[in-house]
Amino acid sequence: MMGVEGPCDGPGASPSWGTPDIRSATRLLEIGGEEAMVRFGRSVLDTPGARAVLVWNGDEARCRIATGGDRVSGALPWVPADRVDLLVLLDEQGATLVRDGIRCEPVRGAGLRAAGASALSLDAAPVVATPRGAEAATRALARAPLHTAALLIGIMRESAEFSRSYALERVAFGKPIAHHQELAFLIADMATAVDASRLLLWEAAWRLDEAAEGGPCSTELAAEACATAFAEAVEQSQFVTPNGVQILGGHGFMQDYPVEKRMREARALGLLLGGVDRAREEAGRELCAWEGPIALTVEAAS
Amino acid sequence: MKLAIDAGTQQRLEMVRNLGSSQLRPAGLEADRAGHPLPHDHTLFQLLVKVGLGKTRWDGKAEAAERSGGEAKIGASRSLICVAEEMSYWDRGVAVAFPGPGLGDPPISGMGTADQKRRFLSPFLNPERPLWGSFAMTEPSAGSDVAAIQTTARPDGDSWILNGAKSFAAHASRAEWIVVWATVDKTLGREGHRAFVVEKGTPGLGDFVVERKMGLKAYESTSFTLRDCRVPAANLLGGEERYAKRAGFKGAVKSFNATRPLVAAMAVGIGRAALDEAAAFARENDLLERVRGRDRLERIRRRLRAARLLCWRAAWLADYGRPNILEASMAKATAPAVALEAASLGMELLGEVGGRGDHLIEKLFRDVKAMDIVEGTGQIQRLIMARQLVQLPRD
């Protein structure tokens, strides 16, 4: 749960911070279950404009909020939100929930400005709950980057599709620029990047569902897939979205066209939840635990 | 190719470093935060003129000086690109915003008659206040395909009538004059091109729109139109005689290029700034112990070093009049992509600090993208390289 409800994969995707569906929110926040969502999430979901923000708090170099007691203090340089009504600090053991005493100072924001941008500070803010559970934390840590990866893929799709359409209309040297090989190949590579990232995302989502339903996939395997999908989406977004600008040439650099906005949004999204470093660490840890041949996908149970 | 930098260039670099840290970078950040170009009366521009910048490279003489005999070196590209890299390290947008004749200087001093040089470049010999020139080739429908410009020039008595639209012309709305490229016959491609100096205030020159850009906000990139814009025949660069002499003459294809390595070096400067800022952040936040962070910094430095050497090689060849078309395009194709990666990896190192939108690396990430587009896109450079390497046929 990052104050995001509902699907966001689509053209012009900035996160749709809309309202309420407790079930969909529960799917995103595993840690406290439906009871926690009713107790802490309901007021957020029922209050127009209220926001809940989830932060990866497992790296003190990035998120300097010390937890462990009944109050928390610290700072976070940026969240894509203009207000925080419920702060969920997630680490590998569980979550710390804070409702009051959260100070938001507006900052410019590198992207995602429709969501707002704030620096957070907490000064002995009271903790309202600390749901614990390593497995639930693992699932929550898997869902959050999965959701962010989906946003990234929506942005990439739009960037690739807009620039492809532009390239089919724009004529240079006697033909549409899309028909010049160097751009044709680039457009093909961008399409491949989007589709490959999306398939990794879907496979990871399937693994999570299987793990939740006792299928042939463990939570650890599902978490690895989600981390991998996130890492891939971030990396590919840094290939696709700058090339979305490149294809439009000088027009791409102007703010009249949406592609520069996509480039900024993709870069900003990839910084959340510990960024690619946390994702690679997660995926790498699971990888190193393999003995024998490494399976790329999950074998169905016989 | 010598790898050491000569003493004269070292001195110039030191001057740029002092100016950069005290003036250029703060002005660039100011423009970025304001979201618009530095105004023409900004104190920085007055300072630059005061210290002797903003001048033309033309020596003020009617005829070009003869080269002294026995000297193999014909240019100073290597030195120029070192300075250009350093300027861009501090702020590439501000470096372009400098007063002066800008890109209008080479066509006037290279093609212009003695009278034209005197009229248009003399004000830039020792300017007492900031003055700008401008150059307009690109059009809304003609960027890479320069031969396809649509702005027309029609003779009318002792004048020419220009009609068309230009885009992304630096300083156009504040310039004393704009070198405007137009065609006398669209079917002739480049053979039909003519360069005109259109002076500020000429009726029919107008509709200036200063574009809102992703980055490099310190200087204006401006669109404008020419509507039955009457330009004296005396403002056709080089006069009719120049084009009459050239008619039917294919001429020697220029075998070396000095501007692509220059722009590539600017990209290296931006990338270097990202590297230094990322390293400083890592140092201040105890991230240097982390292998992933170190790996990023190592990769950025390695690729930037290679990119810089590609620029130096191309410039060195140009300085000795040796063919460098492949090398110039190689530098231009490589450096902007490397610099973008530097800024992007720098953002990853910053983490959420990058997301705030107020760190220098975030600005550099937005600034640097243009470098793969201007002075020939990366795609055009690869096309040029392919023609050199595998004789790729022209369509």
Residue A251's pLDDT is 97
Most distant pair of Cα atoms in chain B: their distance = 75
A183 or B395: which carries more pLDDT confidence?
A183
Considering CB atoms only, which of B144, B344, B356 is closest to A77?
A: B356
pTM (two decimals): 0.89
User: Quick check: A216 and A300 in contact, CB under 8 A?
Assistant: yes
Closest CA to B211 of A256, A167, A243: A256
> Is B375 one of the catalytic residues?
yes
Q: What is the pLDDT of residues A242-273, one digit of tens each?
A: 999 999 999 999 999 999 999 999 999 999 99
pLDDT category of residue B74 using cuts at 50, 70 and 90 = low
Distance from CA of B121 to the nearest CA of A (A): 29
Report which listed range, B143-147, B309-313, B343-347, B390-394, is most confident: B343-347
Q: What is the pLDDT of residues B252-270, one digit of tens each?
A: 556 678 889 999 999 999 9
Closest CA to A295 of A224, A209, A196: A224
Residue B359's pLDDT is 97
Q: What is the ipTM of this complex?
A: 0.85
The Cα A14–Cα A3 span in angstroms is: 12
Neighbours of B377 (CB within 10 A): 22
B394 or A161: which carries more pLDDT confidence?
A161
Neighbours of A86 (CB within 10 A): 21
Q: Between chains, do B143 and A172 touch, taking CB under 8 Å as contact?
A: yes
Residue A253's pLDDT is 97
- Going through B115-243 in order, the beta strands assigned E by DSSP cover 133-136, 152-156, 159-170, 177-183, 193-199, 205-210, 221-232
Runs of H (alpha helix) within B161-258: 239-246
Residue B209's pLDDT is 97
Q: Could you tell me if B164 lies within 8 Å of chain A, comparing CB atoms?
A: no
Q: Could you tell me if B150 lies within 8 Å of chain A, comparing CB atoms?
A: no
Whether the predicted pLDDT of A1 surpasses 60: no
The Cα A4–Cα A18 span in angstroms is: 7
Of all residues in chain A, the one with the smallest CA distance to B342 is A238
CA B11 to chain centre: 23
CA A84 to chain centre: 18
A68 or A130: which carries more pLDDT confidence?
A130
Q: What is the pLDDT of residues A48-79, one digit of tens each?
A: 999 999 999 888 777 778 888 899 999 999 99
> Which candidate in B85, B277, B362, B375 is catalytic?
B375
Of all residues in chain A, the one with the smallest CA distance to B372 is A246
Give the least confident one: A17-26, A169-178, A199-208.
A17-26
Q: Could you tell me if B379 lies within 8 Å of chain A, comparing CB atoms?
A: yes
Residue A61's pLDDT is 75
B154 DSSP β-pair partners: B161
Whether the predicted pLDDT of B289 surpasses 90: no
pLDDT category of residue A212 using cuts at 50, 70 and 90 = confident
Closest CA to A191 of A131, A135, A247: A247
Portion 39-98 of A in contact with B at CB < 8 A: 61-63, 76-80
Q: Mean per-residue pLDDT for B73-88? A: 87
